[in-house]
Chains A and B, each alone.
Chain A
Amino acid sequence: MVKMSEEAGDTDSPNSNDSEDEVIKEEVKMHYHVYITLFALIFYTSWVFAGILFFYYVLQFFLPNVLETHNFLSLFTEFKSLLSLLAMPFVLIGCYLLHLFFLALATRILWKITEKISPSKEGIIPRNIRSKAANYYHIRSFMIKYGKNSFAKGVFPWLSKWYYNFIGASKMGRGTTIEESIVNDKFLEIGDNCYIGVDSAFGTHVVEGIFGNISYFKIKVGNNVTAATSNLFGPGSEIHDDSYLLPWASGVKHTLTQGNNFYWGLPLRRIFKRKIMQYLDISPNDLEKNENIEGYRDKKLLKKLKTEERINNKSDNDKGQLIAELTDNQIDIHKLTDEDLAIDFTTSSAISRINIKFLALYLPIFFLSGFMVAIFWYWYLLDENWVAILSFLPLALFGSIYFFILACLLFSKLFLILINLLHKPREGVFKAEIGDNDFEFWKMRTELRKLSLWFLRNSPFPWTDVIAFKLFGVDMDTSSHLADTWCDGEFIKFGRKNLVGQAAVIMSSMIVGKYLLIRSVILDDYVMIGTHTTIVPGTIIGKETMVGGACTTTVNQVLEPGWIYTGIPATKFKPNKYALSHREILMKRDVDKERKFEIEHEVNIDEDKRELIKAKKINQEKKESEEI
């Protein structure tokens, strides 16, 4: 399965080395001071020019012409005020675009500088040995994040393709559409006229174990490739021209597809005409059109075909109308077997009902935290020293975002304490219906947490959400990282240095039919969870265990320490020995010919550190010979 995870870490001292272990078990050291300086540079340049333009317009035109006008009607009758009013939205859009442009420019310059110092190249980067290659890999991953989030989640998501091309992180061809997704940012080569669907992740980097490697390889995507939705690919994959991926068609790292075909499944495989027609519910005629698309690029021809189609369709209009009839036979619950009632499938912990009455909680929190920010801005604009105001504007913006969030956290926590006093949260099985106390309070708790978590996750430093989780009752420390996941806010225990993959789901509550199940989840030290994996209530994961991508665990499952688990449901795959694994031999997998082959590749590490890897290998060989 695909394993994809983002970097995490802090500046703690290395783990105490056991004398038994030959492997260097050194934790990754993050250079937070470098990250923050780079971020500050990008953030400042991106906002300062937009801010100056905005304030100039407001003070010069909007304030005197619009706000100082006393009569509502004269806003429209006087030429000057009308023009200032109508031009204001354009100024706002312009400021926003200016912000995006300078954001991209600053990132581009910094990106080019880091590329000069240590160019990004393909290869396996050892994670347990400190090296320049690993450091600059981390710095670049961090740098691209702020821009990526503001482009992809912003008002003009069409520009995100331009952003990646402009800073030189990846190449994307003409006519290619990229929907929102978790990775898809760097080291990609996508051809023309592709469609990369929502939640599709072409991850060019994979973290294999806390003390393992980072695989960092280019992903090459040909022309006219479509990935429908949720297509995950590991690094080094090559998807050739005209590969059509159906939903969930995913491959491990180094997957090759020959193209000119439809692919389906987990892991993906080629499917043929009969299956395509069955899965997509289309006629042979449509398939023929798909193959000879060049012949149909003609407006008149298409118009003619469509009118013919419409006439044909009128005859068989009623197909697929009803869903099995209602049968009201009473079921005796005492006769149900254990197997009937076993929760051996996974659903979700999304709130089952939205209630507008929660606004009563939201509004006071919002008002109180907003008031703090308002006071801040009053103080900031008090002096009217415009040079100082404008030059420190990005700082003030950043400050006010975090003022607001901290106030939000504080007031949410206050309300949470009050609610927990009224009704203590507890584990168990409850009815998910209005009237059940546990269910109602569970909903209220989740909604309450949501506000500040939402703000934190949307702030420039999303990984600060650890503060919120800690405050709201999740047992974790700052060494773990889960900014890109859905994670419940209670009954979860994290160990040290846990790495949770992008778009993974960790839930301590689950809605099954009419019932709500709440059980605690425990993750031990150095646990890794892959991308798009669902961890359900009651899961316990042992030390140094890895769960692969696109897996689910089952309720009350215990994963043993030191193993790699994959599949739906997660079962043992092989012992977790990634720190010991070969770093220069790659296994490629050709999907169409159903074969695997090996390739040698250089390890991506500084020249002076190569001995560390070799020395270890010699040690291993010595050990093996002794055993023999």
Chain B
Amino acid sequence: MSVPNTMRLGPFTPTVLVKKRYLIFYFFLIWASIIPLLLEFWVYWRLLWNDTRPIHFYTFLPLLAILMYVTIVFAAIFFAKILLVIVNVIHHPREGVFLRTPEDKDYRYWSLRNTIKRWPIWLAHRFPFPGTLDNICFKVFGVKTKISNSLFEGWVDTEFIEFGKDVVCGQGAIIQSAVIIGNLLIIRKTIIEDDVRIGSHSIVMPGTKIGQKCILAANSVTTVGQVLEREWIYAGIPANKFKKNYFFEDGLEDKIGGVEDVESLREKYEEIYIKRYDEMKYKERKEIKKEKKEEEKKRLEVEYDDFDDDFNI
């Protein structure tokens, strides 16, 4: 498991910056979180710096580096939370369909919240030990989750989401609670229950509710406000029922196998994924329709004739 080098991944804060002055908050957070770091370094310097024998100073430097990193993350989280509480008192975050213009208050505050959250989340995700600090960030910023959830391989929005326990978010999966489409910003609460497995590169759109022990297969998309029933496997664009999920039963180690007959599988998938109409030309489609209609007509006529005969007798 290795993360692509061009991507940051992890908890997702959109880079939408409605007003440039929001960056003042960002700069303030960076400034405020570095100060405790410097004080910590001062203590270390006073304790261990010795011009003639610097060995102690250099030996414990790596350990100090880790400690300083954790300090800066928690300092950033602390200050960001305070700012966030104040901002949320001024304008309470809420669900709904908003407009993507600077005049819309909800859109502005959504952008401001993301700008504030960016610095601590960025820091937490840059720590090479995966997950733990991310999940702490999630918890502090109001996402209900468990520390053991593995959500760091994809992009997960940082508000209006609820996770159960043992949720796995696959590589490159995107779990959203806010999406920009056209001139609209749609914010809806996403709920994901216990033991849900989300496949790689699949997208969970805002407002989706996923029941327990559900599997969302790779490369599939849910629609806004879709409800995925518990104990089913879903696949497709948009996600449809694929089959019942029996993979949470015990004692299946020897029975689980693969598939070799890909052609028949293709047919099965074709019903679920959108059919490619553009492969078939318009005229051909019309002809097929005509043929079907004629067949139906013939059948009806035959039945009618039979009926007449019967009547004659």
Beta-carbon contact of B180 and A155 below 8 Å:
no
Beta-carbon contact of A248 and B203 below 8 Å:
yes
Beta-carbon contact of A350 and B256 below 8 Å:
no
Q: Is A2 an interface residue (CB 8 A)?
A: no
User: Closest residue to B200 on the A side, CB-wise?
Assistant: A348
Which positions 123-153 of chain B face chain A at CB distance < 8 Å? 128-132, 135, 147-150, 153
Beta-carbon contact of B30 and A93 below 8 Å:
yes
Contact partners of A429 in chain B: CB under 8 A: 252-254, 256
A72, B45: Cα distance in complex, Å: 12
A177, B242: Cα distance in complex, Å: 36
Beta-carbon contact of B181 and A341 below 8 Å:
no
From A178, A279, A324, contact of B238 by CB (8 A): A279
Beta-carbon contact of A348 and B197 below 8 Å:
yes
Contacts A248-B221, A302-B99; A555 near B171 (Cβ below 8 A): no
Q: Is A61 an interface residue (CB 8 A)?
A: no
Contacts A267-B276, A556-B259; A350 near B153 (Cβ below 8 A): yes
Beta-carbon contact of A556 and B258 below 8 Å:
yes
Q: Secondary structure at chain A's binding surface: helix, strand, loop or mixed?
A: mixed
Contact partners of A324 in chain B: CB under 8 A: 211, 229-230
CB distance from B233 to the nearest CB of A (A): 6
Beta-carbon contact of A503 and B179 below 8 Å:
no
Q: Is B268 an interface residue (CB 8 A)?
A: yes
Which positions 236-252 of chain B face chain A at CB distance < 8 Å? 237-238, 242-252
User: Closest residue to B213 on the A side, CB-wise?
Assistant: A513
Beta-carbon contact of A75 and B42 below 8 Å:
yes
CB distance from B89 to the nearest CB of A (A): 18
Beta-carbon contact of A152 and B6 below 8 Å:
yes
A336, B12: Cα distance in complex, Å: 40
Q: Is A344 an interface residue (CB 8 A)?
A: yes
Beta-carbon contact of A370 and B218 below 8 Å:
no
Contact partners of A349 in chain B: CB under 8 A: 1, 170-171, 200
Contacts A228-B180, A320-B227; A371 near B205 (Cβ below 8 A): no
Beta-carbon contact of B105 and A303 below 8 Å:
yes
> 1/0 contact trace for B166-206 toward A, CB 8 Å?
10111111101001111110101001010001111101010
Beta-carbon contact of B170 and A182 below 8 Å:
no
Q: Is B122 an interface residue (CB 8 A)?
A: yes
User: Closest residue to A229 on the B side, CB-wise?
Assistant: B174
From B27, B218, B228, B278, contact of A348 by CB (8 A): B218
Q: Is A628 an interface residue (CB 8 A)?
A: no
Q: Is B262 an interface residue (CB 8 A)?
A: yes
Q: Is A27 an interface residue (CB 8 A)?
A: no
Contact partners of B247 in chain A: CB under 8 A: 341, 512-515
Contact partners of A548 in chain B: CB under 8 A: none
User: Closest residue to A86 on the B side, CB-wise?
Assistant: B35
> 1/0 contact trace for A21-45 toward B, CB 8 Å?
0000000000000000000000000
A182, B63: Cα distance in complex, Å: 34
Q: Is B104 an interface residue (CB 8 A)?
A: yes
Beta-carbon contact of A302 and B104 below 8 Å:
yes
Beta-carbon contact of B150 and A513 below 8 Å:
no
Beta-carbon contact of B282 and A594 below 8 Å:
yes
Beta-carbon contact of A374 and B199 below 8 Å:
no
Beta-carbon contact of B35 and A354 below 8 Å:
no
Q: Is A489 an interface residue (CB 8 A)?
A: yes
Beta-carbon contact of B34 and A88 below 8 Å:
yes
Beta-carbon contact of A226 and B180 below 8 Å:
yes
Q: Is A298 an interface residue (CB 8 A)?
A: yes
Chain B count of residues within 8 A CB distance of the other chain: 137
Beta-carbon contact of A343 and B17 below 8 Å:
no
From B6, B14, B59, B180, contact of A502 by CB (8 A): B6
Contact partners of B181 in chain A: CB under 8 A: 226, 228, 244-246, 262, 280
Contact partners of B188 in chain A: CB under 8 A: 281
Which positions 199-230 of chain A face chain B at CB distance < 8 Å? 199, 224, 226, 228-230
Q: Is B155 an interface residue (CB 8 A)?
A: yes
Which positions 562-616 of chain A face chain B at CB distance < 8 Å? 567-571, 589, 594
Q: Is B52 an interface residue (CB 8 A)?
A: no
Contact partners of B265 in chain A: CB under 8 A: 344, 554, 569
Contacts A88-B34, A179-B15, A513-B247; A350 near B59 (Cβ below 8 A): no
CB distance from B215 to the nearest CB of A (A): 6
From A281, A333, A447, contact of B251 by CB (8 A): A333
CB distance from A572 to the nearest CB of B (A): 9
Beta-carbon contact of B122 and A344 below 8 Å:
no
From B3, B182, B276, contact of A290 by CB (8 A): B182
Beta-carbon contact of A230 and B278 below 8 Å:
no
A189, B183: Cα distance in complex, Å: 21
User: Closest residue to B247 on the A side, CB-wise?
Assistant: A513
Contacts A177-B16, A462-B5; A348 near B173 (Cβ below 8 A): yes
CB distance from A553 to the nearest CB of B (A): 9
Beta-carbon contact of A177 and B17 below 8 Å:
yes
Contact partners of A477 in chain B: CB under 8 A: none
Beta-carbon contact of B183 and A290 below 8 Å:
yes
CB distance from A67 to the nearest CB of B (A): 5
Beta-carbon contact of B229 and A374 below 8 Å:
no
Beta-carbon contact of B132 and A323 below 8 Å:
no
A67, B51: Cα distance in complex, Å: 13
Beta-carbon contact of B2 and A367 below 8 Å:
no
A345, B220: Cα distance in complex, Å: 11
Beta-carbon contact of B6 and A446 below 8 Å:
no
Beta-carbon contact of A343 and B171 below 8 Å:
no
CB distance from B164 to the nearest CB of A (A): 11
Which positions 143-181 of chain A face chain B at CB distance < 8 Å? 145, 148-149, 152-153, 155, 157-158, 177-181
From B59, B147, B154, B180, contact of A371 by CB (8 A): B59
> 1/0 contact trace for B41-70 toward A, CB 8 Å?
011011001000010001101110110000
User: Closest residue to B174 on the A side, CB-wise?
Assistant: A229
A507, B218: Cα distance in complex, Å: 13
Beta-carbon contact of A297 and B8 below 8 Å:
no
Q: Is B7 an interface residue (CB 8 A)?
A: yes
Q: Is A383 an interface residue (CB 8 A)?
A: no
Q: Is B311 an interface residue (CB 8 A)?
A: no
Beta-carbon contact of A489 and B2 below 8 Å:
yes
Contact partners of A48 in chain B: CB under 8 A: none
Beta-carbon contact of A552 and B219 below 8 Å:
yes
A213, B233: Cα distance in complex, Å: 40
CB distance from B237 to the nearest CB of A (A): 6
User: Closest residue to B266 on the A side, CB-wise?
Assistant: A571
Q: Is A269 an interface residue (CB 8 A)?
A: yes
Would you mind naming 7 contact pairs between A and B with Cβ atoms under 8 Å apart?
Answer: A149-B5, A182-B4, A199-B174, A282-B186, A354-B132, A514-B250, A570-B262
Closest 7 CB pairs of A and B: A370-B62, A348-B170, A513-B247, A556-B258, A462-B5, A555-B258, A281-B225
Given A279-B223, A557-B262, list of 19 further CB < 8 A pairs?
A69-B42, A90-B31, A180-B8, A195-B16, A228-B180, A246-B181, A267-B276, A336-B255, A345-B217, A348-B171, A362-B128, A369-B62, A374-B58, A454-B2, A503-B7, A534-B201, A551-B219, A556-B258, A567-B266
